[in-house]
Chain A
Amino acid sequence: MSNSPTPPIDMNHIVIDSNRIAFRYQTAATAQSADTPPVIPAALDDVTLTIPHGEFVVLCGQSGCGKTTFTRLLNGLIPTFHTGDLTGTCSVYGLRSGHSSIEEYAAVVGSVFQNPKTQYFNAFVADELAFPCENAGWEPSAIRERMQEVASSFGITHLLDRSIFRLSGGQKQRIAVAAACMLRPRLLVLDEPTSNLDAQAMADLNAMLAQIKASGVTIVVAEHRLAWCVDLADRYVLFDSGRIALDCSAERFRDLPERRRERWGLRALDMTPFHAAVRQSVANAGQSRTDAAPLPANGTIQDQSASGTAVIATRGLTVGYRETRVFGRFRRRRPDAAAFSRTIPDLTLHAGRIVGLMGHNGAGKTTLVRTLVGLAKPLDGGILRYGETASPSELTRHGFLVMQDVNYQLFADSVRGELLLSTPYRDEFDAPEDVLQAADRILADLDLMELSDRHPMSLSGGQKQRTAIASALMCNKELIVLDEPTSGLDLKHMRQVGALLRTLADRGKAVLVVTHDEELAAQWCDEVVMIRP
């Protein structure tokens, strides 16, 4: 990025100029996420905003406030890909929305999206980096040169020959930013880039953006997690139901009382208190664990008196997986046959308690929870259920995992059907009265009653999550594990998830939450366990 050939532009030069923009998505089907309600209000309403060259602007606001829609206007996806009624004018470095083609935008605007899994087009890193240049018709030697330049400036040279599927979420997001920079864009647009990232990956992203900003690129980030880019932002623009509610400099925004930002549904600007609370909680848990360790037999009794019964406990557990190969038998077995293994400190999950599970990507959190619900076999050690060793299939019968992508977990054609699927009665008409009543009680408890006849795929993300949990309650699961339930959620929805966890715990379930979200861990978990690689 250092020797970018773009001519120096006056810093006060207005490069993004939107004038009385209003936009309404055409149909629910064309809107990207299911979160959009069927009756669509205007996504943007009378938005007038100018951004000078080289500024780092954070667009913030609750989900559905229009910040993502505005980023789509900047990278030309509106109105070419996301069609709808657009009025007003918006010009981005001389490109006018509705008149310039999306290919013209591609040369000037780099885009990074929310989901690291689906925003790359090629299977390998080098191909993905070369992709924008290939489309622009660069010469092969020029592409290779540019790729080396970008890779070395961002420190990703070692990743170049990897398959993107092997990378962690944070690495994927760095590749996405690097790919967006290949054509030397004047403007970089990021739409909630951190929603699936841990703290370390966010710090890496921050460093990358600092470098890009220093090279004179205008950056626009739509985000409701504010803490990670607080040192870079020059200006904050707050959206509220499609309108600009506040437009102020970074200094003024930081001086606002935290209370006000909370009222706007924004996540905390300063994570220090949550960080401290999490550390304290981890320390407490470690303390009680060392107390209990010499007397394991007494320990369980103590635990019972302290809180609910210990549902699941691990003893000397090592989790991991072995490399499977098609022709594995033809190879000599190496002594370290496990491709991945972690020894987990002993862990006890009580009924009625919420335990947070934290740790960096690759620390083995996912493998641990898969083992706890019986989807993976432990490599060593055992898992006790009510004090007795339990087999993986037993754990699967009594545990439930709410996956990060909950879409995989919904099979039926209505929300009520989803609950009945967990019973021997597959159909609403076969089920006896008491089963239907039990189902209705659960639906009412989880606020799903009005949605009971809707198709699960027509629900919003949070509603799908609740439906999956309802199905688990229906088959009386004792342990409910949630994998990153708050990724990409604003404050209001994060609190809803927190309250949901409490509801589950109050029903006597043991709740385990895998999360990177320190706000969630600090405010809603009774205990936090940190796993270190």
Chain B
Amino acid sequence: MTDAQRTASDTASKARGFAALSIPDLITIGVFTAIYFALVAVCTFASAIIFAGFGSILLPALCALVAGCGPYRGRRRRAFRFDGRHRLRLDPRAKLFLLLEANLLLFCHVNTRTEALLTALFLLPLFLSGRIRSGVRFTLIYGALLALSLIEPPTEGRGAWLAIFPMIAVGIRMLLPCLITGAFAFTTTSPGEFTAALRRMHVPEAVIIPCIVVIRFFPTLREDYRHIRNAMALRGIPSGGGSPLRHPAQSLEYIIVPLLMNATVVAQDLSVAAMTKGLGNPGRHTSMTDIRIGIPDWAIMILCALPLILFLTGVL
């Protein structure tokens, strides 16, 4: 690299508000964040299952992410259905607000009444935006869990062990608002809209770029994992569902190492693709989608915020 080139790229990155990180660095950060997320998600869920009641503070956020990963799994032909003008389309920022509130709900230890009311309110936009099937599914699950957790089992005697079911029901029920808002936020918003929202909120490009890469890299990670499991089966290395638990060190070596190897290659290819398309442009970056917070967004946000405020002030 000539000196002239170096100063040119330096001034370019300075103009963007991050002196040290270049585009390839940011992309690498995104790729490895995705791997980190996947590992943390696997470990958190595994530990939540093994040690019931082991509540990680990451759990609600992860629940929201997992509930919303449907379109990103790349299975469905059309990922986001935006047909029908009569359907409600909220601004991504309003969706993020709902998601944040659902997470807050878990930390505030609200009473069952407030929680049920808020869950009903969270389900409302899901129905209005046309995701009837998942709305019905969530309603049924929540209803069943609510009913189960309201049963009062005998506290002593032979049937005392039955108390574990309402306990588990309460645990899952408390996570459901996160799952619902997560599913709503991530399955009805395309990555492009999210990027637009982040740009409107004046989030620096140094944060936006890794976010786009994380979304882009999750499906790749899934494909890679499948390939590696297949390769392990062909080589006669134990690769069944329970093998990570039975041979943790071996699984770590044989799964994580090829994953990381591939990730570095992908990070480099993505950098090349992004740089030749001008991602490093020092000027303002725009978004294809126009987003605007309108009356429905304000209405939903106020409606959902109200019960929580009432609870916190002690009215409800």
Contact in complex: A81, B253 (CB < 8 Å) = no
**Cβ contacts B235-261/A at 8 Å (1 or 0 each):** 111000000000000000110011001
Return chain A residues, CB-CB under 8 Å to B283. 136-137
Decide if B219 is an interface residue (CB 8 Å cutoff): yes
Contact in complex: A408, B236 (CB < 8 Å) = no
Q: How far is the CA of A4 from the CA of B262 in the complex (A)?
A: 39
Decide if A384 is an interface residue (CB 8 Å cutoff): no
Decide if A161 is an interface residue (CB 8 Å cutoff): yes
Q: Out of B78, B271, B279, which one reaches A161, CB within 8 Å?
A: B78
Contact in complex: A132, B278 (CB < 8 Å) = yes
Query: A408 with B224: in contact, given A103-B278, A162-B79, A396-B233 (CB under 8 Å)?
Result: yes
Q: Out of B192, B237, B262, which one reaches A127, CB within 8 Å?
A: B192
User: Considering only CB atoms, which chain B residue lies closest to A392 in the complex?
Assistant: B233
Return chain A residues, CB-CB under 8 Å to B279. 121, 131, 135
Decide if B234 is an interface residue (CB 8 Å cutoff): yes
Contact in complex: B74, A166 (CB < 8 Å) = yes
Decide if A405 is an interface residue (CB 8 Å cutoff): yes
Q: How far is the CA of A410 from the CA of B257 in the complex (A)?
A: 10
Contact in complex: B281, A79 (CB < 8 Å) = no
Task: For residue B196, give the distance in angstroms from its CB to the closest CB of chain A.
Answer: 8
B interface majority secondary structure: helix
Contact in complex: B4, A99 (CB < 8 Å) = yes
Contact in complex: B266, A118 (CB < 8 Å) = yes
Q: How far is the CA of A39 from the CA of B268 in the complex (A)?
A: 22
Q: How far is the CA of A134 from the CA of B283 in the complex (A)?
A: 10
Q: How far is the CA of A119 from the CA of B272 in the complex (A)?
A: 8
Return chain B residues, CB-CB under 8 Å to A48. none
Q: Out of B24, B71, B266, B285, which one reaches A137, CB within 8 Å?
A: B285
Decide if A255 is an interface residue (CB 8 Å cutoff): no
Return chain A residues, CB-CB under 8 Å to B288. 126-127, 130, 133-134, 140, 143-144, 147
Contact in complex: A165, B281 (CB < 8 Å) = no
Q: How far is the CA of A132 from the CA of B254 in the complex (A)?
A: 38
Decide if A76 is an interface residue (CB 8 Å cutoff): yes
Return chain A residues, CB-CB under 8 Å to B56. none
Return chain A residues, CB-CB under 8 Å to B129. none
Contact in complex: B278, A79 (CB < 8 Å) = no
Return chain B residues, CB-CB under 8 Å to A397. 236
Contact in complex: B269, A140 (CB < 8 Å) = no
Q: How far is the CA of A108 from the CA of B78 in the complex (A)?
A: 33
Which residues of B, 1-49, contact A by the 8 Å Cβ criterion? 1-2, 4-5, 8-9, 12, 24
Query: A409 with B235: in contact, given A77-B276, A103-B12, A118-B273 (CB under 8 Å)?
Result: yes
Task: For residue A377, give the distance in angstroms from its CB to the closest CB of chain B.
Answer: 13
Contact in complex: B192, A422 (CB < 8 Å) = no
Contact in complex: B287, A134 (CB < 8 Å) = yes
**Cβ contacts A45-65/B at 8 Å (1 or 0 each):** 000000000000000000000
Contact in complex: B286, A106 (CB < 8 Å) = no
**Cβ contacts A371-382/B at 8 Å (1 or 0 each):** 001110000000
Contact in complex: A375, B79 (CB < 8 Å) = no
Q: How far is the CA of A457 from the CA of B260 in the complex (A)?
A: 12
Contact in complex: A83, B1 (CB < 8 Å) = yes
Decide if B158 is an interface residue (CB 8 Å cutoff): no
Q: Out of A113, A161, A396, A410, which one reaches B234, CB within 8 Å?
A: A396
Which residues of B, 186-235, contact A by the 8 Å Cβ criterion? 190-192, 195, 212-213, 215-216, 219-220, 223-224, 227-228, 230-235
- Interface centre among B80, B236, B253, B284, by most chain A C-beta atoms within 10 angstroms, is B236
User: Considering only CB atoms, which chain B residue lies closest to A375 in the complex?
Assistant: B230
**Cβ contacts A154-179/B at 8 Å (1 or 0 each):** 00000001110110000000000001
Decide if A388 is an interface residue (CB 8 Å cutoff): no
Which residues of B, 133-172, contact A by the 8 Å Cβ criterion? 137
Contact in complex: A407, B234 (CB < 8 Å) = no
Decide if B307 is an interface residue (CB 8 Å cutoff): no
Return chain A residues, CB-CB under 8 Å to B5. 79-80, 98-99, 101
Decide if A232 is an interface residue (CB 8 Å cutoff): no
Q: How far is the CA of A107 from the CA of B276 in the complex (A)?
A: 9
Return chain A residues, CB-CB under 8 Å to B293. none
**Cβ contacts A76-117/B at 8 Å (1 or 0 each):** 110111010010000000000011011101110111010101
Contact in complex: A475, B270 (CB < 8 Å) = no
Return chain A residues, CB-CB under 8 Å to B296. none
Decide if A75 is an interface residue (CB 8 Å cutoff): yes
Return chain A residues, CB-CB under 8 Å to B286. 133-134, 137-140, 143
Contact in complex: A81, B272 (CB < 8 Å) = yes
- Interface centre among A135, A400, A403, A422, by most chain B C-beta atoms within 10 angstroms, is A135
Contact in complex: A421, B235 (CB < 8 Å) = yes
User: Considering only CB atoms, which chain A residue lies closest to B190 in the complex?
Assistant: A124
Contact in complex: A403, B275 (CB < 8 Å) = no
Q: How far is the CA of A397 from the CA of B237 in the complex (A)?
A: 11
Decide if B85 is an interface residue (CB 8 Å cutoff): no
Q: How far is the CA of A32 from the CA of B271 in the complex (A)?
A: 11
- Interface centre among B5, B254, B261, B288, by most chain A C-beta atoms within 10 angstroms, is B288
Return chain A residues, CB-CB under 8 Å to B289. 140
Contact in complex: B234, A137 (CB < 8 Å) = no
Contact in complex: A102, B236 (CB < 8 Å) = no
Decide if A310 is an interface residue (CB 8 Å cutoff): no
**Cβ contacts A383-402/B at 8 Å (1 or 0 each):** 00000000000001101110
Contact in complex: B269, A119 (CB < 8 Å) = yes
Contact in complex: B230, A123 (CB < 8 Å) = no
Contact in complex: B235, A403 (CB < 8 Å) = no
Q: How far is the CA of A113 from the CA of B261 in the complex (A)?
A: 20
Decide if A323 is an interface residue (CB 8 Å cutoff): yes
Contact in complex: B137, A127 (CB < 8 Å) = no
Contact in complex: B277, A179 (CB < 8 Å) = yes
Q: How far is the CA of A431 from the CA of B286 in the complex (A)?
A: 61
Decide if A471 is an interface residue (CB 8 Å cutoff): yes
Decide if A429 is an interface residue (CB 8 Å cutoff): no
Sample (29) of A-B pairs whose CB atoms are under 8 Å apart? A75-B276, A80-B9, A80-B275, A81-B275, A99-B5, A101-B8, A101-B12, A102-B9, A102-B275, A102-B280, A106-B275, A106-B281, A118-B265, A119-B272, A122-B216, A123-B191, A123-B215, A132-B277, A134-B287, A134-B288, A136-B283, A137-B281, A140-B286, A161-B78, A165-B219, A166-B75, A330-B137, A375-B234, A411-B254
Additional A-B contact list (20), CB under 8 Å, known A135-B279, A411-B257: A79-B1, A80-B1, A86-B2, A98-B2, A101-B8, A106-B278, A115-B269, A123-B219, A127-B288, A132-B278, A133-B286, A140-B287, A140-B290, A161-B79, A401-B230, A403-B231, A407-B258, A407-B261, A410-B258, A411-B237
Chain A interfacial positions (CB closer than 8 Å to B): 32, 75-77, 79-81, 83, 86, 98-99, 101-103, 105-107, 109-111, 113, 115, 117-124, 126-127, 130-140, 143-144, 147, 161-163, 165-166, 179, 183, 323, 327, 330, 370, 373-375, 396-397, 399-401, 403, 405, 407-411, 421-422, 457, 471-472, 475
Chain B interfacial positions (CB closer than 8 Å to A): 1-2, 4-5, 8-9, 12, 24, 71-72, 74-80, 82, 137, 190-192, 195, 212-213, 215-216, 219-220, 223-224, 227-228, 230-237, 253-254, 257-258, 261-262, 265-266, 268-290
